[in-house]
């Protein structure tokens, strides 16, 4: 078991073994969070820069805390208060950050492929914290971690991802990760947001929500991403809630041990009933805790990855 | 590559551990304060075995735990990230005599990392070090309190501990030339 990648750009290029390595490593880092002293010196003296060109609170905070708990120094760089407003290119901004001896650059960007681009022009480690509708690899890793921890395995489980698949980088990363690990993934939502082409990624597409969740071991809900939709993809929010929202009546028809997940932020009363979000089958807050452990594991592993790249 | 040499067989390992346990008992009169902490991979199983032998000597259970040292290593920048093992120390180490247990003592850097890692769990009264094999080549001022066998080695040799707990057919310590 070893990790030899210098960057974490996507899940698509990872092997099942590499994904499992991250999950195994994250288990030990999760234990660190339960200690009286929640900090280890693994990345002492390293500089991490959160380059968030698109707004985010939870992912940014999670990476920030992950870096701090590994004893690295971290600064946040947000688009609103930056030189992007003054017309600087992404490459120039990143080069400037690297000139400050940044060891890791964690990037979120509205353009798909932005992290890949940076990995070609920088010497620093690049970690993708979400690029457009392409991928959000650490979210998929924390989802896989949560499923494995709760169910003891991933292979053979039925995972239903419900909601806005088309505009969701979380859906794409989840599909890659979970199918590589042997889960059976079903996608469901309005046909405008769940095109049949997703079947090419090795999952099943259905538009009947009751059928989609009936045999599910995991129900992963996604938010409707108003900010990404160029025009209305369905008549109204109320209609979406009626047809696809997870409510008590729908939940009653699922397996009694089916878990409910959501990458957040949740829209109570839209994709999920408020009561369900807080019920004992919901693992939404545990996903947040696990996200921290997974991001610590990713920083730790890519730090060692440069040695393999240098030796190659 | 030369044939591996067996430097300790199952019986010799058992005898060494029994002697180390008696030495730990002799050195520590306050036996209620002694806890064992093994370093994976290898030291964790040895700590469990030593705890069992000491329980027979002292007629009471001896707590033992597992301490992963990888997050405290000083060479994380010079290698591919090492495999991180779970840490499980189900007791408070503050005020205790902690006997660190490792399979092979070499540069001493793992022991240093272990002492740092242990500090995050409390402040032991004292720390002692028990190893099955001391192969020399220290890079830090560290010395074991209890040694199963001293084995002079050259740097191009590798010593491995095989234990049935870890899936080996039989217990043995072997020396290989790289």
The per-residue pLDDT for A230 is 55
CA gap B53, B64 in Å, rounded = 12
Q: Are A266 and A284 in contact (CB under 8 A)?
A: yes
In which band, very low, low, confident or very high, does the pLDDT at A81 lie, cut at 50, 70 and 90?
low
**pLDDT in single tens digits along all 178 residues of chain B:** 578 999 999 999 999 999 999 999 999 999 999 999 999 999 999 999 999 999 999 999 999 999 999 999 999 988 899 999 999 999 999 999 999 999 999 999 999 999 999 999 999 999 999 999 999 999 999 999 999 999 999 999 999 999 999 999 999 999 998 8
Residue with tokens 């690295």: A72
Q: Are B4 and B176 in contact (CB under 8 A)?
A: yes
CA gap B124, B97 in Å, rounded = 6
Collapsed DSSP state (helix, strand, coil) of residue B160: strand
Stretch among A36-45, A222-231, B98-107 having the lowest mean pLDDT: A222-231
Q: Percent of chain A beyond pLDDT 90?
A: 81
The per-residue pLDDT for A307 is 64
Residues of chain A in contact with residue B70, where contact means CB-CB under 8 angstroms, are 42
The whole-angstrom distance between A109's CA and the closest CA on chain B is 28
The per-residue pLDDT for A225 is 75
CA gap B126, B100 in Å, rounded = 11
Report CB contact under 8 Å: A40, B120: yes
The per-residue pLDDT for A77 is 84
Q: What is the pLDDT of residues B76-126, one digit of tens each?
A: 988 899 999 999 999 999 999 999 999 999 999 999 999 999 999 999 999
DSSP annotation of B88 = B
Strands B146-150, A104-109: parallel, antiparallel or unpaired by DSSP?
unpaired
H or E stretch including B114?
A: helix B109-119
The per-residue pLDDT for A1 is 59
Sequence-ordered strand ranges (E) for chain B: 5-8, 34-38, 64-66, 97-105, 126-134, 146-150, 157-162, 172-177
Beta carbons within 8 Å of B146's beta carbon, 6+ residues apart: B20, B23, B24, B99, B128, B129, B130, B131
The per-residue pLDDT for B125 is 97
Q: Are B65 and B43 in contact (CB under 8 A)?
A: no
The per-residue pLDDT for A71 is 97
The per-residue pLDDT for A312 is 44
CA gap B35, B100 in Å, rounded = 9
Q: What is the pLDDT of residues A178-197, one digit of tens each?
A: 999 999 999 999 999 999 99
Q: Are B99 and B128 in contact (CB under 8 A)?
A: yes
Phi then psi dihedrals of residue B63, to 5 deg:
-65, 140
CA gap A299, A5 in Å, rounded = 11
The per-residue pLDDT for A271 is 93
Report CB contact under 8 Å: B78, A42: no
SS (H, E, C) chain A: CCCCCCCECCCCCCCHHHHHHHHHHHHHHHHHCCCCCCCCCCCCCCEEEEEECCCCCHHHHHHHHHHHHCCCEEEEEECCCCHHHHCCCHHHHHHHHHHCCCCEEEEEECCCCHHHHHHHHCCCEEEEEEECCCECHHHHHHHHHHHHHHHCCCCCCEEEEECCCCCCHHHHHHHHHHHHCCCEEEEECCCCCCCHHHHHHCCEEECCHHHHHHCCCEEEECCCCHHHCCCCCCCCHHHHHHHHCECHHHHHCCCCCCEEECCCCCCECCCECHHHHCCCCECHHHHHHHHHHHHHHHHHHHHHHHHHHHHC
Distance, CA of A226 to chain centre: 19
CA gap B170, B163 in Å, rounded = 6
Long-range contacts of B53-61 (CB under 8 A, 24+ apart): B53/B17, B53/B18, B53/B21, B54/B21, B54/B24, B54/B25, B57/B21, B57/B22, B57/B25, B58/B25, B58/B31, B60/B31, B60/B32
The per-residue pLDDT for A306 is 67
Phi then psi dihedrals of residue B27, to 5 deg:
-75, -30
Residues of chain A in contact with residue B80, where contact means CB-CB under 8 angstroms, are 2-4, 304-305, 307-308
H or E stretch including B47?
A: helix B43-58
Q: Is the peptide bond before A198 cis (omega within 30 degrees of 0)?
A: no
Q: Does residue A27 surpass a pLDDT of 90?
A: yes
The per-residue pLDDT for A67 is 98
Report CB contact under 8 Å: A40, B85: no
Q: Tell whether B90 is within 8 A of chain A (Cβ).
A: no
pTM (predicted TM-score): 0.92
Q: Which domains does chain B have, with CATH numbers?
A: 5-72+89-177 (3.40.50.2020)
Residues of chain A in contact with residue B82, where contact means CB-CB under 8 angstroms, are 304
The per-residue pLDDT for A275 is 93
Which of B70, B71, B117 is the best substitution to test chain A (most A C-beta atoms within 10 A)?
B71
Q: Which domains does chain A have, with CATH numbers?
A: 16-135+288-307 (3.40.50.1370), 137-287 (3.40.50.1370)
CA gap B81, A67 in Å, rounded = 16
R_g (Cα) of chain B, nearest Å: 16
Beta carbons within 8 Å of A184's beta carbon, 6+ residues apart: A156, A157, A158, A159, A203, A204
CA gap B83, A250 in Å, rounded = 43
Count of CB atoms within 10 A of residue A29's CB? Answer: 25
The per-residue pLDDT for A82 is 66
Q: What is the pLDDT of residues A270-300, one digit of tens each?
A: 999 999 999 999 999 999 999 999 999 999 9
CA gap B129, B137 in Å, rounded = 17
Report CB contact under 8 Å: A303, B81: yes
Residues of chain B in contact with residue A39, where contact means CB-CB under 8 angstroms, are 120
The whole-angstrom distance between B74's CA and the closest CA on chain A is 8
DSSP annotation of B71 = G
Prediction ipTM score: 0.86
């Amino acid at each position: 078991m070893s990790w030899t990648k210098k960057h974490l750009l996507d899940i698509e290029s990872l092997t099942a073994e590499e994904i499992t390595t991250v999950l195994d490593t994250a288990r030990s880092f999760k234990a660190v969070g339960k200690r009286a002293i929640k900090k280890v010196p693994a990345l002492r003296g390293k500089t991490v820069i959160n380059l968030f060109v698109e707004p985010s609170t939870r992912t940014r905070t999670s990476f920030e805390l992950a870096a701090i708990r590994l004893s690295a120094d971290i600064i946040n760089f947000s688009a609103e208060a930056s030189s992007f407003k003054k017309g600087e290119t992404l490459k120039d901004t990143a080069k400037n950050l690297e000139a400050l001896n940044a060891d890791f650059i964690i990037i979120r960007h509205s353009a798909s492929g932005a992290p890949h681009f940076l990995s070609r022009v920088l010497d620093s480690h690049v970690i993708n914290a979400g690029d457009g509708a392409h991928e959000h690899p650490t979210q998929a890793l924390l989802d896989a971690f949560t499923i494995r921890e709760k169910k003891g395995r991933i292979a053979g489980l039925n995972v239903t991802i419900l909601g806005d698949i088309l505009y969701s980088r979380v859906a794409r990363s989840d599909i890659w990760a979970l199918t590589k690990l042997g889960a059976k993934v079903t996608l469901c939502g309005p046909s405008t947001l769940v095109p049949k082409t997703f079947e090419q990624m090795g999952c099943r597409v259905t538009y009947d929500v009751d059928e989609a969740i009936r045999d599910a071991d995991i129900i992963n809900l996604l938010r409707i991403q108003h900010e990404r939709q160029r025009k209305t993809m369905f008549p109204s929010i109320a209609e979406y809630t009626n047809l696809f929202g997870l409510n008590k009546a729908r939940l009653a028809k699922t397996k009694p041990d089916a878990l409910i997940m959501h990458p957040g932020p949740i829209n109570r009363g839209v994709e999920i009933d408020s009561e369900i979000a807080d019920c004992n089958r919901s693992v939404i807050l545990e996903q947040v805790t696990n996200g921290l452990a997974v991001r610590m594991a990713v920083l730790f592993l890519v730090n060692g990855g440069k040695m393999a790249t240098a030796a190659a | 590559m030369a044939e591996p040499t067996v430097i300790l067989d199952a019986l010799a390992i058992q005898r060494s551990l029994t002697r180390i346990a008696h030495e730990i008992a002799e050195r520590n009169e306050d036996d209620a304060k002694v806890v064992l902490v093994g370093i994976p991979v290898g030291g964790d199983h040895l700590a469990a075995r030593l705890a069992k032998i000491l329980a027979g000597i002292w007629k009471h259970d001896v707590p033992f735990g597992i301490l992963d040292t990888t997050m405290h290593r000083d060479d994380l920048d010079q290698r591919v990230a090492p495999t991180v093992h779970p840490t499980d120390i189900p007791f408070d180490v503050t005020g205790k005599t902690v006997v660190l247990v490792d399979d092979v003592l070499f540069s001493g850097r793992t022991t240093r990392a272990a002492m740092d890692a242990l500090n995050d769990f409390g402040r032991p009264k004292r720390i002692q070090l028990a190893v099955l094999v001391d192969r020399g080549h220290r890079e830090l001022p560290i010395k074991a309190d209890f040694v199963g066998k001293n084995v002079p080695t050259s740097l191009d040799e590798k010593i491995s501990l095989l234990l049935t707990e870890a899936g080996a057919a039989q217990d043995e310590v072997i020396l290989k030339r790289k």
